[in-house]
Amino acid sequence: MVSLMLAAHDAPPRIEEILPPALLIAIAFMSSTLITPLYALYQTAYHFSVLTLTLIYAVYAVGNLVAVLFFGRVSDRAGRRRVALPALALATVSTLLFILAHGTAWLFAARLLSGFGVGLASGTGTAWLADLYGKSRRPQATLAATCANLAGAAGGPLLGGLLAQYAPMPLELSFYAYLVLLACAAVALTRAPETVRARESDLSKLSFWPKIGVPQDARKRFVAPAVAAFGVWALSGFYFALLPGVLRHDLGVKNVAIAGSVVCEMMLFAVATTIVFRNLQSEKAMLAGLLMQVPSVVLLIASQMLASTALLLVGSAVTGATLGLGYRGSLQVVNQLAPEDRRAGVVSAYFAVMFLGNSVPIVGIGILTSCTSALTANAAFAVTIAIFAIVATRTYRRTGA
């Protein structure tokens, strides 16, 4: 059997111990949003439609799903570092594909590989932090992993937008900078304490068959956190994929640094909300995240209809708070309702819903945009998210926690 290499103790982990896995998560998620302010530039360079843009964005989730479903438990047997370093290697290859890209096929391949690498790195880093904090401090480990995730996603669009707008090589320089960050993360991981001792007999028992599913007696209670995750990450996906287009075409803002800054603002509010309300009961945080999806989409569509940058900034802040509350709260609710012997399957189901929420609605917007108009498509998206949030809230209140 695999055993923990760290001796059980009550002392909290040292900062130098938790920094490498937290850095792994942050650097991984930075890659998912680094491209956000560059989408408009790629559209101009390669002349593709909004539908193609949404498909390029969504293929990232395919890589996420493959990593989570088929490789999510590998580090439990092979060791955290043995999975983390190859994940960074995949991120490096993905980054090189972006640098060398000269067509949409390259972007599809780079995004797919990026999603796979991020899925491996985030799962491994989260488990690594849980090991270091120990069972008695799992909430702190969840908080650290969530903040690292959101902070990395906040830094990506800011870095990409600033370099694309104000530095040479707008489609390449941000990825060169990201390669340097990947190298720093790799060096840090070589010095991080390994928490899993893997023997050859453990490696021979590795299984890549996905374990996913929700027990029948927990399915009704699973609906609300699943819809909360679907909704908040669908909203985030809109910002990551389509916000630069809204700024450019509806608000007349063509500066990609501003586009990156607005997305960064949204994610920073998510980080701040997660930290400030870290002691809020998980059910209350989740319900707040569900209900706040309604004003979030209202502000988003109103800013587009009125061409108001001020409304968009307010909406971005509200969406960030929605993400911070909804993501942390729903994940903790799922952890609470999952039976101990089915925890991996239930959590995998949660993340599968989350990744689908981050991709499927965005593709739907792309399809509707090609048939109608961007405003009509975005309004349909907003109405759908609001309805799902209200229904999920009522369902959760009937079934109870």
pLDDT digits (tens, 9 = 90+) for 140-164: 888 898 899 999 999 999 999 999 9
Helix (H) or strand (E) run with residue 220 in it: helix 219-249
pLDDT at residue number 313: 96
Per DSSP (E only), the strands in 115-264 are 196-197
Q: How far apart are CA 256 and CA 165, in angstroms?
A: 6
Question: Picking from 120-129, 205-214, 247-256, which range would have the lowest pLDDT averaged per residue?
Answer: 205-214
Give me the mean pLDDT over the 212-227 stretch. Answer: 82
Over pLDDT 90: what percentage of the chain? 63
- Decide if 125 contacts 21 (C-beta within 8 A): yes
Q: How far apart are CA 266 and CA 108, in angstroms?
A: 26
Indicate whether 229 pLDDT > 80: yes
- Cα-based distances in Å from 242 to 18, 115, 263: 34, 18, 10
What's the topology of domain 14-207? Answer: Growth Hormone; Chain: A; (1.20.1250)
Q: How far apart are CA 212 and CA 346, in angstroms?
A: 6
Do 211-401 and 14-207 fall under one CATH topology? yes
- The model's pLDDT over 76-103, given as tens digits with 9 standing for 90+, comes to 778 889 999 999 999 999 999 999 999 9
- Cα-based distances in Å from 103 to 56, 164, 236, 343: 12, 18, 26, 42
Give which of 226, 231, 237 is closest to 347, Cα–Cα: 226
Q: Comparing 232 with 73, which gets the higher pLDDT?
A: 232
pLDDT band at 1 (very low <50, low <70, confident <90, very high): very low
- Decide if 382 contacts 301 (C-beta within 8 A): yes
Give me the mean pLDDT over the 199-223 stretch. Answer: 70
Please, is 252 exposed, middle or buried when counting C-beta atoms within 10 Å of its C-beta (0-12, 13-18, 19+)? exposed
Instruction: Please provide residue 3's backbone torsions phi and psi, each rounded to the nearest 5 degrees.
Output: -125, 150
Give me the mean pLDDT over the 364-390 stretch. Answer: 93
Instruction: Please provide residue 172's backbone torsions phi and psi, each rounded to the nearest 5 degrees.
Output: -125, -35
Place domain 211-401 in its CATH homologous superfamily: MFS general substrate transporter like domains (1.20.1250.20)
pLDDT band at 8 (very low <50, low <70, confident <90, very high): very low
Over pLDDT 70: what percentage of the chain? 91
Kindly state the tokens that stand for 299: 């502000």
DSSP β-ladder status, 196-197 and 3-4: antiparallel
Indicate whether 202 pLDDT > 60: no
Q: Would you tell me the crossing angle of helices 104-133 and 50-71 to the nearest 10 degrees?
A: 40
pLDDT band at 200 (very low <50, low <70, confident <90, very high): low
Indicate whether 41 pLDDT > 50: yes
Helix (H) or strand (E) run with residue 101 in it: none
Give me the mean pLDDT over the 166-194 stretch. Answer: 95
What residue spans define the domains of the chain? 14-207, 211-401
Q: How far apart are CA 47 and CA 21, in angstroms?
A: 39
pLDDT at residue number 2: 47
- The model's pLDDT over 51-64, given as tens digits with 9 standing for 90+, comes to 999 999 999 999 98
Which of left, alpha, beta for 32 (phi over 0: left; psi -120 to 50: alpha)? alpha
pLDDT at residue number 350: 86
